[in-house]
Amino acid sequence: MPPTQMAQLMDGTGLARRITAQTAAKAAEISRRAGVAPCLATVLVGEDPASVTYVRMKRTRCAKAGIHSRHIPLPATTTTAELIDTLAALSSDPEVHGILLQHPAGPHIDERAAFEAIAPEKDVDGVTMHSFAAMSFGLPGFQSCTPGGILRLLDEYDIEIAGKHAVVVGRSAILGKPVGMLLLARDATVTYCHSRTTGLPALVREADIVVAAVGRPRLIRGEDVKPGAVVIDAGYNPGNVGDVDFDTARTRARLITPVPGGVGPMTIAVLLAQTVDAAARQLGVPGH
C-alpha cells in the first residue's frame, strides 16, 4: 500500500497575523495623517459569558493594532428600540468609524432591525442588508468577517474558485449565506445545504470546495470528501472540534483548515482590517 497523502494545512493563524500587521501599519499612518486613531464601537447587550469574552478579545486585538475601541455595555433588559437608538447615535457620531453589535443580542431583540440601524459605511462586521447585497453583487463593501476570512484564505493558497463546485453546509445570515454569495460572485457553482437538505453526503462528494458552517461536531465525514478537494471547516464546537471529521478528511483533501488555527483567527483579522478601511474613508486619508 502506498503511504497516504496528507492534505496541506491552511494556516489561518499565520495569515491573520500578517493581515493584522498590515492593518496596524495602516492604523498608524491614519493616526499620523488625520490626528485621530481609527475607532471601533462595540455594543454588547447583556452579560452572556461567551459574548463578553469575544468582545474582550476583539477590543484587545484592536488595542494591539492601534485601533481605539469604545465599549457600550447595555443591560439584558434593553429593548429593540433602545438598541436601535444607541446604534443610530453611533452611526452619526463622527468619532466612531466602525460599529460591532455582538450577536446573538438576546431572544427578545429583533436583531435584523438592530443591524439595519448601523450606517453602511460603518458596518465593519458586514451584517447589514446593504453589505449582503454588495457581497452578492460582487461590489465593493464590507464583508461578513468570517466569510471574508474564508475567501482570503482561499486566495492565500491560490485556490481556483471560478467554475468550481462549492458546497456550503449551513445558511446562517452571518456565515453560510454570505460565504456562498462571495463564492458565487467569484464564479463558483454554489450548492447550499441546511438542516432540511436530503442526501448531504452525496452532495459533499460532488464538491471541489467544501465549506462546513453548521456547528455539529464532525458532521462532514472524511469518506465523503472528494479526493483533491479543498475543505474549509468554519465549525467550532466544544473541545476544539470542527464540523469536519479532520483525521479522515485530511487523507483525501488537497488542502484543509485545522480547528483551531484555520478559519477562526481570520474573523477578527478581517474585522480590524475593515475598521481601518472605514476610518481611512471617513477621515479622507488618501491611499486607502
Residues in contact with ligand NAP by CB under 6 A are: 146, 169-172, 174-176, 193-197, 200, 213-216, 219, 234-237, 263-264, 267
To the nearest 10°, report the CA torsion of 181, 226, 149, 60. Answer: 140
Contacts of 125 (CB under 8 A, 6+ apart): 98, 99, 100, 101, 142, 144, 145, 271, 274
Name the residue nearer to ligand NAP (CB basis): 33 or 216.
Answer: 216
If one counts every other C-beta atom within 10 angstroms of the C-beta of residue 173, the result is: 15
Name the residue nearer to ligand NAP (CB basis): 96 or 262.
Answer: 262
Name the residue nearer to ligand NAP (CB basis): 119 or 203.
Answer: 203
> How many Å apart are CA 261 and CA 58, to the nearest integer?
17
Identify the CA nearest to 126 among candidates 174, 182, 184.
174
Smallest gap from residue 286 Cβ to ligand NAP (A): 32
Smallest gap from residue 98 Cβ to ligand NAP (A): 17
State the DSSP code for 3.
Answer: P
Strand intervals (E) in the chain: 8-9, 39-45, 68-74, 98-101, 165-169, 189-193, 209-212, 230-233, 255-256
Name the residue nearer to ligand NAP (CB basis): 207 or 213.
Answer: 213
Name the residue nearer to ligand NAP (CB basis): 205 or 216.
Answer: 216
Place of cell 463546485: 165
Smallest gap from residue 16 Cβ to ligand NAP (A): 10
Smallest gap from residue 149 Cβ to ligand NAP (A): 7
Identify the CA nearest to 106 among candidates 126, 84, 77, 81.
77
Catalytic residues: 58, 102, 125
- The answer, yes or no, to whether the previous bond of 104 is cis (omega within 30 of 0) is yes
Smallest gap from residue 287 Cβ to ligand NAP (A): 29
